[in-house]
Amino acid sequence: MPTRAPRGTIAPGLLFTDQHGDVAQLHGVGIRRYDGVFYAWGEDKTHGGAFGGVACYSSPDLATWTFLGHALAVDGAVPDLAPGRVIERPKVLRSAAGTYVMLLHVESADYGYARVGWAISDRPEGPYTYLHSERPLGNISRDIGVFMDDDGTGYLLSEDREHGLHVYRLAPDLLSVEEIVSTTLTPPSDHPAGPHGYESPTMVKHDGLYYLFGSDLTGWSTNDNKYATAPSPAGPWSEWRDFAPPGSATYDSQVSVVVPVAGSETTSHVYAGDRWSRDDLYHSAPVWLPMRIQDGRAELEWRDTWTIDPATGVIS
């Protein structure tokens, strides 16, 4: 079992603990910064792969985490949220009207349900009211990510098996999907068995360029994650490239989000990934690292421990 990091320390491969000394459930995490505070929504893996609630935490600096309770709890009265279901990759966006909208990968235990779910709240930490789930435009949807552009347009990134990784534009209230703006596939040379997309997608925009990150489809095992760039969420997307040393399996982690941290001196990017312990998902270690994004290139930088100054954006 991975060791616990001293509280307030980002140490890739070691566990974060909360104010109670409990292992922070920041798995498959979504992270946003509202009014200077970082909020994180993670999969509570108390019940292993089965839904244990969406745990919400806050932090001033991405290092010291305070558990705020379950933003979305297990609820036997709601079929999608019932015990034994699978809910992964909670991601939150705030709509122009100020509503916090949570998107989720909603599953059955056999991963055959393959839907996106929506929940809303008037506070980042919830509690969220669950609305519904669907297959966007009829498509299978497994791992998801979200992105909000500077103009407030929201996007859903969703993995649709052999049809690829879709970028869907969301409605202005973020509560429905309007259209697919682009779809990407893995290169056939990497996948002789047939094309499919990347999973666990996340997107950032830096200096006018869009960067899309994802992992190969190897379940709880890690692989060399990739990124592509484009002048718009609609593409055209570049070839997929490594952002960590090839063969390192992304420092043995799977991307969950890349978080821009805009400060007074610089905008830094933080990679938050998961090192899954398939037999003990609760203790899966976070692998969070600085990501250098510059001139169309993205590169993960290994550090044993590091900090980010939330005011200046400087990583040291």
Question: Which positions touch ligand GAL (CB under 6 A)?
Answer: 28, 88-89, 143, 199-200, 217, 219-220
Number of C-beta neighbours around residue 292 at 10 A: 14
Q: Rounded CA gap, 238 and 228, in Å?
A: 5
Name the residue number minimizing CB distance to ligand GAL: 219
Choice between 51 and 306, CB closer to ligand GAL: 51
Of 69 and 219, the one with the shorter C-beta distance to ligand GAL is 219
Judged by beta carbon, residue 44 or residue 199, the one nearer ligand GAL is 199
Smallest gap from residue 84 Cβ to ligand GAL (A): 15
What's the min distance (Å) between Cβ of 107 and ligand GAL? 8
Task: State the nearest-atom distance from the C-beta of 215 to ligand GAL, in Å.
Answer: 7
Q: How far apart are the first and last CA of the chain?
A: 28
Nearest distance from residue 89's CB to ligand GAL, in Å? 6
Nearer to ligand GAL, 121 or 141 (CB): 141
CB of 54 to ligand GAL, least distance (A): 14
Which of 188/219 has CB closer to ligand GAL? 219
> Taking the complex as a whole, how short is the minimal distance between the CB of residue 311 and ligand GAL, in angstroms?
33
Q: Measure Cα distances from 258 to 89, 95, 280, 300 in Å.
A: 13, 20, 25, 11
Nearer to ligand GAL among residue 220 and residue 282 (C-beta) = 220
Beta carbon of residue 213, minimum distance to ligand GAL (angstroms, whole number): 13
- The token duo for 100 is 């916090």
Closer Cβ to ligand GAL, 88 or 125, answer by number: 88
Residue 123: CB atoms within 10 A of its CB come to 13
Tokens 């991975």 belong to 2
What 3-state class would DSSP assign to 231? coil
Q: Looking at the chain, how many residues does it have? A: 316
Residue 17 per-residue DSSP state: B
